[in-house]
Amino acid sequence: MTDKTISDGEQIRRQVMGDAYVDRALGNATDFSQPLQDFVNEHAWGSVWSREGLPLKTRSLITLATLTALKCSQELKGHVRGALNNGCTVEEIREALLHCAVYAGVPAAIEAFRAAQEVIDSYVKPDESAQQP
């Protein structure tokens, strides 16, 4: 584990997921769960999300499809927000989730649509939230 990879991973994680999400995840870490946060920052964000082969927007859509198939609706909510932060449109998110219905099953897609709708209904772009009183 390198401190640079963890640091780079945290930086891209903040870019995608937003500071509030990452601050909450890191702030809630305990001695027991801190190694998992380090693992996520180093491997998921520092080693995979930071690669140049795919744009972040595409990585977000792949992540949404994967989380849909796994029926991980809570984690999917964070990544819907991340996808919107990465420039994915609501239509692109909808189409990715609909595509999952064919390959991951309708029940998984229904759960994903519900979770995504919750986020979409309350989403405020990061630059707009700074302008609100």
91 burial via Cβ count (<10 Å: 0-12, 13-18, 19+): exposed
Q: What are the CA-CA distances from residue 66 to residues 1, 83, 91 (Å)?
A: 26, 13, 18
Share of the chain above pLDDT 70, in %: 93
Asked if 46 and 5 touch (Cβ cutoff 8 Å), the reply is yes
Task: Report helix, strand or coil for 78.
Answer: helix
Q: pLDDT, tens digit, for every residue of 27-56?
A: 999 999 999 999 999 999 999 999 999 999
Domain architecture of the chain: domains with CATH: 1-51 (no CATH), 54-125 (1.20.1290.10)
pTM value surpassing 0.85: yes
